[in-house]
Chains A and B, each alone.
Chain A
Amino acid sequence: MSPYRKYLWAFVITALIFVGITLVSNYFDNQRVSEIRSIQDSISMNILSSETQFDLLKETPCDDLGNSSLSQELDTLGEQVSYLESARGSGDAQVISLKQEYALLEIKDFILMQNMTEKCGLKPVFVLYFYSNAGDCPDCSDMGAVLTALRQDYPEVRVYSFDYNGSVSAVKTLESIYGVKDRLPALVVHNKPVYGLKPLADVEKLMPELATMASSTAATSTGNSSGK
């Protein structure tokens, strides 16, 4: 083969490999998106089912409400959505739509859990966490790590994270209900906003009731939010 033909062939083969790899990469990305969608569907079905049960049987024994595994699923979903966001970028259309759905599911779970708390006399601790990935919050990644550690130590704590700059109007409503300002990272604990990066010990101090909870070393199951 003449050298110049070989240069051309090498280019064609390399380009084919490149295109092939791009297609494979896209295929796996789409698989991920559909996996997330199916989890979201299943969670939303679970929430709907719990809400319906809750509405139908105001007198239902709390034991029967059975959404004990929901928190765990929501956590997994959160990890997957944030993985996809770091892989595809915050501006990706699929990522934006998945994040919106995820935020709505979180809010629904939050409302349901609050209702159940009232009815069943539970004492879960809720933390609302507002962050930004737009590059204007250098401490957000560290704050996220602190909250992950918090959840590992205290599986009863329910952390709901929301992108402050996201376009979901329900999140905006949450922000205005609790008066969360544009000073990120922001936490809402016991209905009060707290601003800035805090070490784990300081976050724990915001929730005195944690002292009475079993830490993860004693807990047998993670993700059970009933706190009974």
Chain B
Amino acid sequence: MNPVFSIVMEAFLFVSLYIQVFLIITLFEHREALFRSKEKGARRKEQGGRSKEIGEGRKEAESVPTVSIIVPCFNEQATVVGTIESLKRLRYPADKLSILAVDDGSTDDTWSYLERYAADPQVRIFRKENGGKHTAMNLGIAESRSDIIGCLDADSFVHAEALSRMAPLFADPRVMAVTPAIKVRAPQTVLEHIQYAEYNIGIFLRKMYSVFNAIHVTPGPFSLFRRSVFEQVGPFKSAYNTEDLEMALRLHSHNCVIENAEHAYVYTTPPATVRALVKQRVRWTTGFLLNVRDYRRLFFSRKHGQIGTFTLPAGVISLVTVLFFAGYAAVDAATTTADSLSRWYLVGWQWHWQWPSFQPFFIDTTVVRLLTFALVVLALAFLFFGKRMATGSWKPSRDMAYYTIFYGFIAPVWVAISWGRALTRNVGSWR
């Protein structure tokens, strides 16, 4: 290997390892996060004993904040009823919780499904011209007078305790937004299992980022906001079709605190095909790159804390690293194929079957290889941390195996497309 190339490779691996070590130290400082996880059963002290779950007694009920959950819908006839029903099942005082379903100019039967709730005192329905998810959110915000405003994508469902585990975090007046723990709902296919493991890692990472107030996205599935913050920072924007990411960055630019309730579970329906998944991730990743460009003033700004010193640089570096190694692997695979073809031409079909012999001499122990090995070991550890935080179990499962085997082949595809899109500022469409 060319020595300069080898140094570049080692530098990429060093930085990746640094990011992982930083997160491991954070986990070590907050290791209790791994040991108080339980999906089943009520958990009273999961927010570090700061507050009880809401609705437990009359006294607390008086200080319970009012909450509006906005459900923006665009052609969601298949799932919207399930989404609203899951909200109605939330264990939260009914008089403190209202649901605002906004039909953003659907062309299917979404509106007729929403009309079922016309007489429901807890649900308000709205219909408007199609204008994008952010416009539906803003309509809901304008129509609501609650203390807390949340959103729930119409393809997601909430755990009955989700709201009661999130709302108490607003007791801290600095907290302007609270994010949940998003899980993949009932994974069946290999692709869904891969995403299930990936979302679990996301639960772990979001918790770690929240420790140093550096969460970079307030996701569409069930993020809550203090209502007053919209007066301070303004309404949602289109933001390259990633309004949830832009809002988080905007909150950070106003030095707001974004919390995470790692046991407030929300279940999302993941894309069912590779094509749909790649499209979704291209939207997310392109949106990340373009929004980060718009908020580049946050980078290494002491005033804005760790979002600019850790999350954003780590995110950009990771995307460069993925591109670099995927490119290297692709060139390597192409060279190997070309070599095999030319050998085949020169030598003909050779079939000398041999059992692979184990010769320690030929084990690759270059620095690059050993660093990669260390990174993989830490990445596997993250997989287990995610599993533990999402399910309370350390047990390896097939979703982890699928993730380990396949993710590295799919992710570079959307990363590469997203870089192309971001550099040409081609935002693409939502769906």
Chain A residues engaging chain B, CB cutoff 8 angstroms: 1, 3, 6-7, 9-11, 13-14, 17-18, 21-22, 24-25, 28-29, 32, 35, 80, 83, 87, 89, 141-142, 145-146, 149, 152, 197-201, 216
Contact = CB atoms under 8 A, between A and B. Distances in A.
Given A3-B309, A149-B350, 4 more contacts: A1-B29, A3-B306, A6-B25, A142-B343
Instruction: Please report whether the interface of chain A is mostly helix, strand, loop or mixed according to DSSP.
Output: helix
A18 B350 contact: no
Instruction: Please report whether the interface of chain B is mostly helix, strand, loop or mixed according to DSSP.
Output: helix
Contacts, number: 78
B17 A18 contact: yes
A119 to B, nearest CB: 33
B366 A87 contact: yes
A25 B348 contact: no
Nearest to A86: B1
Give the interface centre of B1, B21, B339, B342 by most chain A CB atoms within 10 Å.
Answer: B21
Contacts of B362: 83
B374 A7 contact: no
A216 B364 CA distance: 30
A14 B18 contact: yes
25 contacts: A3-B305, A3-B309, A6-B22, A7-B309, A10-B21, A11-B18, A13-B21, A14-B14, A14-B17, A21-B367, A21-B371, A24-B365, A28-B365, A29-B365, A83-B362, A87-B364, A142-B339, A142-B346, A146-B347, A149-B350, A152-B350, A198-B346, A199-B346, A199-B348, A201-B348
B275 interface: no
Given A83-B362, A199-B345, A200-B346, A25 B25 contact: no
B146 interface: no
Nearest to B302: A4
B361 A17 contact: no
Give the interface centre of B305, B363, B371 by most chain A CB atoms within 10 Å.
Answer: B371
Contacts of B14: 14, 18
Interface string B106-138: 000000000000000000000000000000000
Contact of A21 (B346, B361, B374): B374
Given A13-B21, A25-B366, A152-B352, A146 B361 contact: no
B18 A10 contact: yes
Contacts of A197: 346
A17 B21 contact: yes
